[in-house]
Amino acid sequence: MELKSSHTSPVLTDPSPAVNKSRLGIPSSLLPYSQQGASFSTPKYISIPRKKNPGKLDDVRSNGWLDAMKSSSPPRKKFIKDFTLDVAQDDAEIAYCSWMLKYPSALNCFSQIIKHARNKRIAIFLDYDGTLSPIVDDPDRALMSNAMRSAVKNVAMHFPTAIISGRSRDKVFDLVGLTELYYAGSHGMDIMGPVSNAVSGDHPNRMKLNDKQGKELKLFQPAREFLPMIDEVFRTLVENTKGIEGAKVENHKFCASVHYRAVDEKNWPLIAQIVHDILKDYPRLRLTHGRKVLEIRPVINWNKGKAVEFLLESLGLSSRDDVLPIYIGDDRTDEDAFKVLKKGNKGYGILVSSVPKETKAFYSLRDPSEVMEFLKSLVRWKEQEEAECT
Ligand SMILES: O=P(O)(O)OC[C@H]1O[C@H](O[C@H]2O[C@H](CO)[C@@H](O)[C@H](O)[C@H]2O)[C@H](O)[C@@H](O)[C@@H]1O
């Protein structure tokens, strides 16, 4: 989606780096795609001490980071012949089935869902990784299938649809490639949504734009002031983790991610300590845990739940009884959105998980293939309903 702005804003235009990256000692090959060409500004107010030997790893053990890291993603299913392990897998399946009594399958409960949806406007919110694309080792290879793309496109033709991702908005748009949707990147801190009178205006973090088709859109970036800070932290993270095999740092514009999925578990405490040490110097940044990823983001009171509320308002769908928002996601960061929908019974959160998890979602789906089935079912139901009305 190429957007033309009537404003000249460094945030929108992503100009060439103002600072020579090699001066910072970072070879450009270490910079992931989303960072190349991103806006750099000379750090004025931040200085990061370069610690050669990070602490004694006591902090991250005592503050629970390590435990959170270990439990942050379900283990992959293995094809196991061993009888004892077969039994263990059966036990896991039994545990999953009993968990589903509390969080039933959205596919099994489809008729219940559409009963509530009758005479209502459904709005669809989708997470990307683990929801539309399967979790893979390399974040750059998390591609969605063409079948999923077409299911999402069909959904967007029938219902207002938005993707709310932890990735940068540009990156998630590159991966999805559909112009029929709205996109919110950086956990909702970078929203390209519809223009509505209710929330437009002269707020400094909000501006109107036109897309290629001339459709008016609104950009909302509540964390714009953090851009240089995130940039600097990203560069420091790249520098400080470069000796750890398998570590990968991504710049998502308003947040930075440190992946440890491909890092030997014995080095996880080191990764955690590096992030912990950097965060100590940035009281205005905080940590959240994703699936085998540590995410550093501004402390502002903004998250995927707020993004859902913002988009509903922009769509003119908030504070109405005839609206049914459905949010599908797999990650801890999606819980903020589930919470918003659960509060006041506004709509349905659907957790994508193949293992039992504590969640604020209402329903569950096992994996992206079930997500696709669910989206297709929604379209079939809507088309049937439309046909009956004509
Ligand atoms: O909000 P999302 O769209 O779900 O994005 C959350 C994070 O997704 C990506 O990481 C996750 O998926 C990768 C690819 O499958 C996987 O390798 C990684 O372990 C997962 O954490 C993305 O790379 C992160 O930056 C996002 O924050």
pLDDT of residue 209: 62
Please report the atom of ligand 1 found closest to the CA of residue 331.
4
Residue pair 191/310 in contact (Cβ under 8 Å)? The answer is yes
From 71, 137, 261, 291, mutation site for ligand 1 pocket: most ligand atoms within 8 A of C-beta = 291
- Judge if the beta carbon of residue 231 lies within 6 A of ligand 1: no
pLDDT of residue 344: 78
Helix (H, G, I), strand (E, B) or coil at 284: coil
pLDDT per residue over 141-193, tens digit each? 999 999 999 999 999 999 999 999 999 999 999 999 999 999 999 999 999 97
pLDDT of residue 375: 98
Exposure class string for 79-101: b at 16+ Cβ within 10 A, else e: eeeeeeeeeeeeebeeeeeebee
Tokens of 127: 């997470």
pLDDT of residue 63: 76
pLDDT of residue 213: 58
- Judge if the beta carbon of residue 32 lies within 6 A of ligand 1: no
pTM of the model: 0.81
Please report the atom of ligand 1 found closest to the CA of residue 261.
19
Residues 363, 374: Cα–Cα separation, whole Å = 12
Nearest CA to ligand 1 atom 13: 139
Helices (H), the chain: 10-13, 58-62, 65-70, 83-102, 110-117, 146-158, 169-176, 227-241, 268-280, 304-314, 335-342, 368-389
Interface pTM, i.e. ipTM: 0.99
pLDDT of residue 170: 96
pLDDT of residue 129: 98
Q: How far is the CA of 129 from the centre of ligand 1 (A)?
A: 5
- Judge if the beta carbon of residue 128 lies within 6 A of ligand 1: yes
Q: How far is the CA of 146 from the centre of ligand 1 (A)?
A: 19
Tokens of 56: 């004694």
pLDDT of residue 14: 27
Residues 6+ apart with CB under 8 A from 21: 28, 31, 40
- Judge if the beta carbon of residue 251 lies within 6 A of ligand 1: no
Neighbours of 253 (CB within 10 A): 28
- Judge if the beta carbon of residue 142 lies within 6 A of ligand 1: yes
- Judge if the beta carbon of residue 171 lies within 6 A of ligand 1: no
Q: How far is the CA of 117 from the centre of ligand 1 (A)?
A: 31
pLDDT of residue 321: 86
195 burial level (CB within 10 Å; 0-12, 13-18, 19+): middle
From 129, 169, 181, 335, mutation site for ligand 1 pocket: most ligand atoms within 8 A of C-beta = 129
- Judge if the beta carbon of residue 126 lies within 6 A of ligand 1: no
- Judge if the beta carbon of residue 143 lies within 6 A of ligand 1: no
What the chain holds in terms of domains, given with CATH numbers, is: 121-193+302-389 (3.40.50.1000), 226-298 (3.30.70.1020)
- Judge if the beta carbon of residue 136 lies within 6 A of ligand 1: yes
pLDDT of residue 56: 55
Q: Over its length of 390 residues, how does the chain's per-residue pLDDT go in tens digits?
A: 333 333 222 222 222 323 233 322 222 322 222 332 232 233 333 333 344 444 455 677 767 888 888 887 766 555 445 666 667 778 888 999 999 999 999 999 999 999 999 889 999 999 999 999 999 999 999 999 999 999 999 999 999 999 999 999 999 999 999 999 999 999 999 999 777 655 544 555 666 666 655 667 889 999 999 999 999 999 999 999 999 999 999 999 999 999 999 999 999 999 999 999 999 999 999 999 999 999 999 999 999 999 999 999 999 998 788 999 999 999 999 999 999 999 978 899 999 999 999 999 999 999 999 999 999 999 999 999 888 887
pLDDT of residue 208: 64
- Judge if the beta carbon of residue 135 lies within 6 A of ligand 1: yes
Please report the atom of ligand 1 found closest to the CA of residue 257.
25
- Judge if the beta carbon of residue 167 lies within 6 A of ligand 1: yes
- Judge if the beta carbon of residue 198 lies within 6 A of ligand 1: no
- Judge if the beta carbon of residue 139 lies within 6 A of ligand 1: yes
